[in-house]
Structure 1
Amino acid sequence: MENASDVRFFTLSGINETMNYKIAIFSVTLLYYCLILFLNVSLVLIIILDENLHEPMYILLGSFCINGLYGTTGFYPKFLLDLLSYSPQISYEGCLLQAFIMYSFACCDLSILAVMAYDRYLAICRPLHYHSFMTKRRLSQLVCFSWLTPFCIFSVSIILTSRLKLCGSNIQKIFCVNWVIYKLACLDNGTLSNTIISYVTIIIYVSHGFFIVWTYMHLIKTCTKSKDDRVKFMQTCVPHLVSLITFLVVILFDLMYMRFGSTNFPESLQNFIAIEFLLIPPVINPLIYGFKLTKVRNRILSLVYFKRK
């Protein structure tokens, strides 16, 4: 497909103010990215290597952590390179790829959270049917759904964006997102199809949210009747709720700011708001699940104790 735009590179002007402290920011960012890698890779390896954790809930958790690695890898290596560059730029194709990763990462998180909510609903509300419903085949289908749905949606979105004729090349952020590229499009240049796919995406993921609310209505109703179910809820649903609330607060805040926020804020504050979803969830999720889920916590403690011996 021939690109309709003459723009071959974008300038990431959102990084300009940070250049005054680039060595300090580079060091802190590198350490933080290493922490993200360590926490998420460790949890994935623990789940893979421990056969006792080869259950749907932990497999979904592993998928959750892999998605965290996928999203952060789409941002941190490029950002670290930009901190070492005097004129941060990104190629047209690289910008589209990064935009695809950012959006698919965020929506994949919500899809996985929806599947995890369904898993907890079956385990607590319909325990007698859990193993007949949550078979290996059904689990594989749900994992594929959580990954392929955002990939397919945003593949279409990025293809439509790539057909736009752009009248600018300056991105006032530290990374590429589809909405910012869309705002650079020339007027009356076929943006209707992008608007339609945006509304379709919103409808799909708002329905994910309603589904999660529906599962928790049933979970809470069931847990009020049984002490054992309340224990299960506290052990397995609280981490999920923490991840869900963290994700929703961070994403909604970022989206609202992107659409309606003031540009009068200091650039450093704007950058922090823009990357909250790449800072908080990838660290909070493995920590909260590692400490709260009994089997995972016991496995971590056994490894620590074994090393000390």
Structure 2
Amino acid sequence: MQNNASLTSASFQFTLFTDYGPFRYLFFILCLLIYITIIFINVVVSMTICFVKSLHQPMYIFICCLCLNSLWGSAGFFPRFLMDIMSDRNFISRVSCFSQMYVIHTYVTHELTLLTVMAYDRYVAICHPLHYHSKMTFRMVVHLLTFAVVYPAFVVGTCLYLSSLLPLCGNKLHRIFCSNWSVVQLSCMDTTVNNIVGRLFIVSTILTPLFFVLYTYLRILVVCRRSSTEHRGKALQTCLPHIVTFVTYSFSLFCELSLSRLQADEINTVLIVVLSLEFLIIPPINNPLVYGLNLPQIRRAIFGVIWIHKQSKHTGTAIKH
């Protein structure tokens, strides 16, 4: 048993990838186009916020971080996934597997902590508008972002370190990417400690942010109910993109958590692939589209940058002639 464990722990095999014949090229092209789209729209929104000084405000800085997180999570999944589509032997080394787990799991938790910070920003702006600038200072924004990034990274690192110590009795992962729970299930020994730490991880990095966001919006609804119709409309306009993003991501996260805790062998393969892709595709596309198209400040800034680029191009052409 030990020899088998030491042999299989060196690499893992994704069992969901099968030979689709010529269709693999179609899947590869579609996924590549999706990845390029994710990169393009997130880079456009984040670069616009970085270069337009009028957008150097807390809410837009948080949106920029949300787009950067989408790029981070996509980079941890799509390059390897595209390779696996075209490969006949879908093996991944232990180091690469744990690296992918770290990137995807930090993407998950960073998304939630950033949405939590954004909910707090909207709460202060709507419920305490007179004190907004005194509370949401540059130092406060830095502290919030530091916590939103460092704390999840530390917690995820701790969970994966404990998983890396487990001796494994197999190497087959019934997923399209490496996940911590799938690896823990391959262990030859008792995983009670890992289960306890995993539950603490879910409570501290997933459930707590979710309840905090719900609490802030409950307070916002109370304030809006007592306010005028005009104030209520403005509050809804500023909160709507965040609500759409939060609901979309919560649904995606619920599907992923449900998938990871069920017996993978008993679930339809197509369902596993669809839910996994939905979790890693919808939020990275949804975030920049919702904020880029619904917030007039970002929309005007994007079109302004495009117009300036066209004008400079026409000017350069005119000078050459």
**Fold equivalence (TM over 0.5):** yes
Q: Structure 2 matches for 1:119-158, cutoff 5 A?
A: 119-158=121-160
CA distance in 2, matches of 1:181, 1:157: 12
- How far apart are the structure 2 equivalents of 1:4 and 1:137? 49
Q: CA 1:19–1:102 in structure 2 vs 1: closer, same or farther (change >3 Å)?
A: farther
Given that 2:8 and 2:170 are in contact with CA atoms closer than 8 Å, whether structure 1 keeps it comes out as no
The answer on whether the counterparts of 1:114 and 1:208 sit within 8 Å (CA) in structure 2 is yes
What is the RMSD of the two structures over their aligned residues, measured on CA atoms?
1.8
How many Å apart are 1:232 and its aligned residue? 2.7
Q: Distance in 1 between matches of 2:108 and 2:228?
A: 35
In the superposition, the TM-score normalised over structure 2's length comes to: 0.90
Does the alignment pair 1:267 with 2:262?
Answer: no
- Name the residue aligned to 1:223: 224
Contact 2:28–2:82, Cα closer than 8 Å, also in 1: yes
Give how far 1:289 is off.
0.4
Q: Deviations over 1:256-309 (max 9, x none)?
A: 122236645542332111221111000011001011111001112223444565
Q: Report the residue type matching 2:194 in the other structure.
A: N
- The share of aligned pairs that are identical, in percent, is 34
Amino acid at match of 2:81: F
SS of structure 2 residue aligned to 1:14? coil
1:1-309 equivalent positions in 2, closer than 5 A: 7-16=9-18, 18=20, 21-188=23-190, 191-204=191-204, 205-224=206-225, 225-260=227-262, 263-306=265-308
Q: Aligned partners of 2:271, 2:207: CA distance in 1, in Å?
A: 28
Give the distance between the partners of 1:277 and 1:151, measured in 2 at CA: 20
Alpha-carbon distance between aligned partners in 1 of 2:6 and 2:186, rounded to the nearest angstrom: 13
Structure 1 residues 289-298 or 263-272, which shifts more?
263-272
Residue deviations 1:27-81 (CA, integer Å, cap 9, x gap): 0011110000000011000000000000000000000000000001000001111
Which stretch shows the higher mean deviation, 132-141 or 230-239? 230-239
Native 8 Å contact 2:166 2:189 kept in 1 = no
Is the contact made by 1:5 and 1:165 (CA closer than 8 Å) also made in structure 2? no
Contact 2:169 2:188 in 1 (8 A): yes
Give the 3 Å change call, closer, same or farther, for CA 6–87 of structure 1 in structure 2. closer
Alignment deviations for residues 135-189 of structure 1 (CA, whole Å, 9 cap, x no partner): 111100101111111100010001000000000011111110001000011133x
> What number of residue pairs does the alignment pair up?
305
CA distance in structure 1 between the aligned counterparts of 2:215 and 2:114, rounded to whole angstroms: 16
Q: Kindly tell me: are residues 5 and 234 of structure 1, through their superposed partners in 2, closer, same or farther at Cα, counting changes over 3 Å?
A: farther
State the Cα deviation string for residues 219-268 of structure 1 (Å, max 9, x = none). Answer: 11112213343233232210000000001111101211222366455423
Please identify, of 62-71 and 249-258, the stretch whose mean Cα deviation from structure 2 is larger.
Answer: 249-258
SS, match of residue 217 in structure 1: helix
* Kept after mapping to 1: 8 A contact 2:66/2:111: yes
Give the gaps of 5 or more residues in structure 2: 312-321
Name the CA shift for 1:134/1:166 in 2 (closer, same or farther; >3 Å).
same
C-alpha separation in 2, matches of 1:197 and 1:83: 33
Structure 1 gaps of 5+ residues are none
Of the two, which has the highest radius of gyration?
Answer: 2
Counterpart CA distance in 1 for 2:16 and 2:119 is 37
Q: Distance in 2 between matches of 1:79 and 1:257?
A: 18
Question: In the aligned structure 2, how far is the partner of 1:250 from the partner of 1:68?
Answer: 14
Give the whole-Å Cα distance in 1 for the aligned partners of 2:49 and 2:269: 40
Question: Is contact 1:17–1:267 with CA below 8 Å preserved after alignment?
Answer: no
**TM-score under structure 1 length normalisation:** 0.93
Inter-partner Cα distance in structure 2 for 1:174 and 1:260: 15
